Amino acid sequence: MVFTGLIEEVAEVLKRTDHGLLIARPAPFNDIRIGSSIAVSGACLTIASLTDQSMGFDVHEETWARTKLGTLKKGDLVNLERALKAGERFEGHIVQGHVDCVGAVSIFSRGSGASRETYLTVRFPPPLRDLIVEKGSIAVDGVSLTVAHVDDEAFTVALIPETLTKTTFGNLQVGEGVNLEADILGKYVQK
């Protein structure tokens, strides 16, 4: 399966256990079933239980360790995207839902007044250094973004108002962890 990094819904975490997550089911997600793949803040998870109000996901130790999902608690919000169906228009970029690591928000500069420009700067661990390129794509908490600037320790992306209102980014705080997935094409080139 593949995702595009275009977030469909934001939903609330209802419960976190040692073995998984229970997340509120958005009304538009009426075509999902047990076994469907959902990107939860960028991490591809499989629906293990389903009601009209909730979606349950089993989470493996590797996923807890590599993502920020282990820090989630009841009431937190997550970005959601269903897997792309064959034949649909492809926008965003190829996002696999295979989170590489957790980065940390170092600067969140929100524009105001006449300047509506908002910039997000994220520090990343050294293994991602060669996979993030200026004007390349990166998924941050599952959101497809274009890198505006990158150095050896951090990258910056510009956020449009639509992204701030349709994702969890409107509530980001400096120091907060975010899931990062580098562009798959860069991974293959590096390999």
- Render pLDDT for 45-90 as a digit per residue (tens, 0 to 9): 999 999 999 999 999 999 999 999 999 999 999 999 999 877 677 6
67 and 120 in a single domain? The answer is no
pLDDT at 24: 98
pLDDT at 77: 98
95 within domain boundaries: no
2 within domain boundaries: no
pTM score: 0.93
pLDDT at 147: 96
Residue 110 confidence (pLDDT) above 90: no
Residue 115 confidence (pLDDT) above 70: no
Residue 112 confidence (pLDDT) above 70: no
Residue 188 confidence (pLDDT) above 90: no
Residue 127 confidence (pLDDT) above 80: yes
Q: Is the dihedral of CA 171, 174, 180, 186 positive or negative?
A: positive
90 within domain boundaries: no
Q: What angle do CA 151, 44, 150 make, to 5 degrees?
A: 5
182 and 113 in a single domain? The answer is yes
pLDDT at 27: 95
Domain encompassing residue 14:
9-82
| Token digits of residue 145 | 């973004």
Residue the block writes with tokens 């998870």: 45
Domain containing residue 16: CATH number: 2.40.30.20
66 and 106 in a single domain? The answer is no
How many domains does the chain fold into?
Answer: 2
